[in-house]
Amino acid sequence: MSRAVGLHLGLLAALAAAQFLLPDYHHGNLARIMVLAAFASAYNITFGYAGMLSLGHAMFFGAGLYAAGLAAEFGGTAAPLGLVLGVLAGAIVATVVGLLALRTTGVSFMIVTLMFAQAGFLTVLYFGEFTRGDEGFVLAPAARTVLGLSLADPATRYWAALCVFGAVMLGSLALARSAFGRVLAAIRENEERTRMLGYDVFRAKLMALAVSGAMAGAAGAAYALLFGYVGATFASIQYSILPLLWVLMGGAATVLGPFLGTLLMFYLIDISSSFTTAHMMIVGFALIGLILFFPKGILGTLRERAAPWLP
C-alpha cells in the first residue's frame, strides 16, 4: 500500500475513531462537514482536476436533495433508495446541462452553468406546491431509516455521513490516479494539445461533469436524509459558491483539500460568529491571507513545497 493510499485510509480511520471521542456538539458538526465535504469533493473533480469553473453545482446538490426528499415525501421511499435516486438525479442533470454548457469554456461556461442553476432554483420555487419553496419541508422519521436504524440518531447519522464521504473521497482518489484522471489534468493544462494527442476532449469533460454531478447528487441526497430538511436555499447560488471556496481553501486538485477546506471554513464561521456578528469579515480576511500565503490552497501549496507525492 502506497503512502498516499495509507494517508487517505488513515483519515477515514481517524474520523471513525473521532465518533467516540468528540463531544456532542462537534460530533454533530463533523457529520454535517463530512456530507458537505463530499459535495466539495464532487466540485473538485470538475474544478480542480478538469479545470472547469462551474457556478452551477448547487443545481446538482439540489437535484440530489430534492430527488431524495420528494421521493420520500410523496413516494414514501426508504433512505437507501433515496440515496440512489439522488445519485441518478445529480448525474442526469449534470449530463444534460453538460451537453449544452460544454459548448462553451472559461467565463462563458461559468455564466451558462450559473444560468442553468438559477433556472433550477426558480423551478424549485415555481413548484412551491410540492417543494414548499424557501420554507422547505421536514422529512418524516419513517423516510429516514436504514436497516431499522434511524438516521436522526447521532451515531447512525455519523456513520452514514462517514460512509458517503468515504465513498466519494476514495472515488476521487481512484479517479485522480487513473488514466482518465491524467487526461483530465492534461485538458486543464492544455486542451488543444490534449485533443491532438487523440483524446475526445468534449466526452472527457462531459464524463467528468457526470461523475461530479453524481457525487454532488449523493451529497445532496445524504444531506436531506441525514438532517431531515429539504429547502430551496440548498439550490441557491450560495451553494454553488461555497464548494468553490472550500476547494480553494483546502487545495484544488488535491484529494483531501475539499475536506480540509470545508472543515476549516465551517469552524471559521462557527467560532467567529460566536463572538461577533461581523463574522463574514473575518472569513474575508482569512481568504485574503489564504491567497497571500497559500495561493494554491493549503494542501496544494504543501504539495508544491514539501510533499509532491500528495494526490
Residues near another protein, by CB under 8 A: 178-180, 182-183, 185-186, 189-190, 192-201, 204, 207
Q: How far is the CB of 176 from another protein (least distance, A)?
A: 13
Q: In terms of C-beta density within 10 A (0-12 exposed, 13-18 middle, 19 or more buried), how is residue 199 classed?
A: middle
* Rounded least distance, CB 301 to another protein, Å: 15
Which residue in 47, 46, 50, 43 sits closest to 191, CA to CA? Answer: 50
Rounded CA gap, 42 and 90, in Å?
11
Min dist CB 211 to another protein, Å, is: 11
Kindly tell me which of 148 and 198 has the beta carbon lying closer to another protein: 198
With CA atoms as reference, report the closest residue to 85 among 97, 73, 98. 73
Please, which residue, 178 or 238, has the CB nearer to another protein? 178
Nearest distance from C-beta of residue 146 to another protein, angstroms = 32
- Residue partners of 293: CB distance under 8 A and separation at least 6: 301
Residue closer to another protein by CB (options 202, 229) is: 202
Query: Which residue, 178 or 276, has its beta carbon nearer to another protein?
Result: 178
Contacts of 241 (CB under 8 A, 6+ apart): 55
Distance CA 69, CA 77 (A): 9
Q: Compute the least distance from the CB of residue 185 to another protein, in Å.
A: 8
| Torsion region of 165: left, alpha or beta (phi above 0 gives left; psi -120 to 50 gives alpha) | alpha
Query: Whole-number minimum distance, CB 205 to another protein, in Å?
Result: 13
Q: How far is the CB of 175 from another protein (least distance, A)?
A: 10
Backbone dihedral angles phi then psi of residue 179, each to the nearest 5 degrees: -60, -40
Q: Which is nearer to another protein, 24 or 192 (CB)?
A: 192
Cell of 301: 501549496
Which of 247, 244, 213 has the alpha carbon at shortest distance from 97? 213
Q: Which residue lies nearer to another protein by CB, 187 or 232?
A: 187
Q: How far apart are CA 138 and CA 270, in angstroms?
A: 24
Question: Cell numbers of 118, please?
Answer: 438559477
Give the Cα separation of 120 and 117 in Å (integer): 5
Query: 82 or 98, CB closer to another protein?
Result: 98
